[in-house]
Structure 1
Amino acid sequence: MIPPLHHIRRFRVNAPRRLAAAVLRWSTSLLLAGALLTVVATTRMPVEAQQRGDQDQRGRIRSEVSLVSVLSSVLDKDGRPALNLTPDQFEVYEEGVKQKIEIFEPETQQPLDLTLMIDTSLSETQDLEFETEAASRFIRKLVRPGDRLALFEFADTITQIAPFSSDVPMLQAALKRIVPGDGTALYDAVYLGAQSLARNPLGRRRVIVLVTDGGETTSRTDFETARRAALRADALLYTIVVRVVKVEGGRNTAGEHALETIADSTGGATYFPNGAGELDEMFDRIDRELRTQYRLGYYPDPHPPAGTYRTLAVRVKCECKVRSRKAYYSGGRLD
């Protein structure tokens, strides 16, 4: 039996409505599911990005804070720089424990920050002109693109006469403003030279070059404070001692020995020219050594507590003499 026409019409009218409602419910479900997935995705992405950021940050912290960098000057039996050595010829020890060398740079190109400190005490007056002329030639030879030098004069006080700069003519002109003073604040000079270097950015070699007669008379800083300041600043100390009095009994040898001790502990050196006429040779030695240094880097194992004094030793498998710093302070430089 055929259904009445009005039933057929009702079916034809209601079926599209039910279909539309079903489609609407299905579409809404899809939209809600998509929105939920979007929320989940946008919630997870920052977390993952943050995790990656945390890992990157930990890596940066490890590389910038934990890494111990050791500059080593290696000399052959004739006192000349020993070149072309390989990583397997070096060993680094911290507190007697052998460390894994992670960074090896022969003839490192790491830029220099250098404080050049000229003794202007009365005892140096007769050689001051020779010293400033030799220093001017040293500056011209030493300062290369990326390097910076600051100039200080010291007597009973320490005065900065040129800030850190790569401007060679400006630095040379500043040397002409040096004037004689009274007394010799030797330890103050080392301490303040280290402080000035410690304020500079990381990733640069730090060097103090000090020209003096070696007499200590007016420092407020004592020997140990000066030595520790140089170590905390990761600074190499090179000293040129111009002996005004040639006879040992007539000069202050305590200052000379103190400078030798500080320089040795930092990995630097002390030179004793036979007069101002040999200053150029001494400056040339320093320049040559700075250009042929090996840079070694390692992450201490075990990791030491911050601020602790750590002994260091570098050994080289060759008939050579190696100079490097004997200690460092973990986790921080001099502020």
Structure 2
Amino acid sequence: MCTSTSGWIEILMASAPRVSAPLFSAILWMLIGAAANAQQAPVSAGQTIRVNVARVNVGVVVTDDKGKFVEGLRRDAFHVFDNGGEQPITEFAPIEEPGQVLLLVEAGPAAYFLQDANLFAADAMLKGLSAGDRVAVARYTDAPLALLDFTTDKESAQAALASIRFNLGFADLNLSSSLSTVLDWLDRMPGKKTIVLISTGVDTSPPSAAATLQARLRVGDVRILCVSTSGPLRNGKQGGKAKIQQTQDEFAAADRRLQAIAELTGGRAYFPLNGKAFQETYKEVAEIVRHEYSLAFALPAADGAVHSIDVKVERFGAAGKSAPAPYRVDHRKGYQAPKE
């Protein structure tokens, strides 16, 4: 899906008046430097995240070996395991159940140059959602700012995206701490919950915030779909060989960060390189949101421990016989039980 397009960054830069290539390179370099400095800060004790629930919710997306989303599955096709032991499914919602989607957009200088290439292509995602799906919009630099509360009005969501003002200065990009705050917003919201993170993956949060986020993602019930905006930036060759190599290394670290966020939550990460690839990515994101099954099982023990979750999906063959299914099953990996 994501193929290289030579000269893409030059086209984007030409559309931003009075901003030269050296200035853009300097902005990007300052951000990468800030991220590196943040990672050198002392690490404080990690925060323990607990989920105070009597039941455990699990969102599940099922695709076949060709990548096609599987519809029409019944409750008896799903098997949920807590620490290896199968649990009875107490609640089951098919994919038709509406969900909540929060668009979290990095509003730093990279997005300033790329807004026409990626952000406003998000209308492909909004149009692909079901009528009942509710959408909220927020942006972040040093901290998140809510722009639109959850609504089924997709035109309002598009207007909120269009209203975002991108920072051309040297603001922090505190991805980890901002994402933790947004998870606080969604903590008590029931039902299907998805964050679509539109970001370069650059993070100037201190390591303590990153560690806290990682612990939280391991036990949370929000699926995060990451869309990297850094792809079109990578054609630039500003600076000497050492600086170019360091920039490439930081981009690789940002990619790994987005991939880890997605994997920990049962989501996916996308790295489109041009406008067409962004359109295709957003369409697939909408498909994932529309094809999520929602399962729940009773909390087996209030022991304060971290529990692993696994979900298996059966494929029924002729005469109702079960057969191994070449399904890809995406879901959250665990939760932390409350302590009584």
Q: CA deviation at 1:325?
A: 0.4
Which runs of structure 2 are paired with 1:50-199 in the superposition (5 Å)?
65-109=53-97, 111-142=98-129, 144-145=131-132, 147-181=133-167, 182-199=171-188
Structure with higher Rg: it is 1
| Higher mean displacement: 174-183 or 133-142 | 133-142
Cα distance change on mapping 1:252 and 1:296 into 2, 3 Å: same
Task: Specify which structure has the bigger relative contact order, considering alpha-carbon pairs within 8 angstroms and separated by 6 or more residues.
Answer: 2
Name the CA distance, whole Å, in 1 between partners of 2:150 and 2:208.
24
* TM-score (norm. length: structure 2): 0.69
Cα distance change on mapping 1:193 and 1:219 into 2, 3 Å: farther
2:47 is matched with none
Q: Are the counterparts in 1 of residues 228 and 258 from structure 2 also a CA contact under 8 Å?
A: no
* TM-score (norm. length: structure 1): 0.70
2:302 is matched with 304
1:200-247: CA deviation from partner (whole Å, max 9, x where unpaired): 3x2x21111011122223468622312334455521100011224437
Q: Are the counterparts in 1 of residues 104 and 139 from structure 2 also a CA contact under 8 Å?
A: yes
Name the CA distance, whole Å, in 1 between partners of 2:296 and 2:81.
12
2:294 is matched with 295
2:331 is matched with 324
Please give the root-mean-square deviation of Cα atoms over the aligned residues, in Å.
2.6
Cα distance change on mapping 1:254 and 1:274 into 2, 3 Å: same
Size of the alignment, in residue pairs?
A: 263
Cα distance change on mapping 1:70 and 1:269 into 2, 3 Å: same
Matched, 1:210 2:197: yes
Name the CA distance, whole Å, in 2 between partners of 1:83 and 1:297.
19
Q: Are the counterparts in 2 of residues 113 and 197 from structure 1 also a CA contact under 8 Å?
A: no
Q: Are the counterparts in 1 of residues 126 and 286 from structure 2 also a CA contact under 8 Å?
A: no
Name the CA distance, whole Å, in 2 between partners of 1:283 and 1:221.
32
1:247-293: CA deviation from partner (whole Å, max 9, x where unpaired): 79524322321221121121111111122332221111111122222
Q: Give the match's secondary structure for 2:115.
A: helix
- The runs of 5 or more residues in structure 1 that have no matched partner are 1-63
1:315 is matched with 312
Q: Which amino acid aligns with 1:299?
A: A
| Higher mean displacement: 309-318 or 249-258 | 249-258
The structure in which a higher percent of residues are helix is: 1
State the identity %: 24
Q: Give the match's secondary structure for 2:163.
A: coil
Cα distance change on mapping 1:227 and 1:114 into 2, 3 Å: farther
- The runs of 5 or more residues in structure 2 that have no matched partner are 1-51, 236-243, 315-324
Name the CA distance, whole Å, in 2 between partners of 1:77 and 1:168.
32
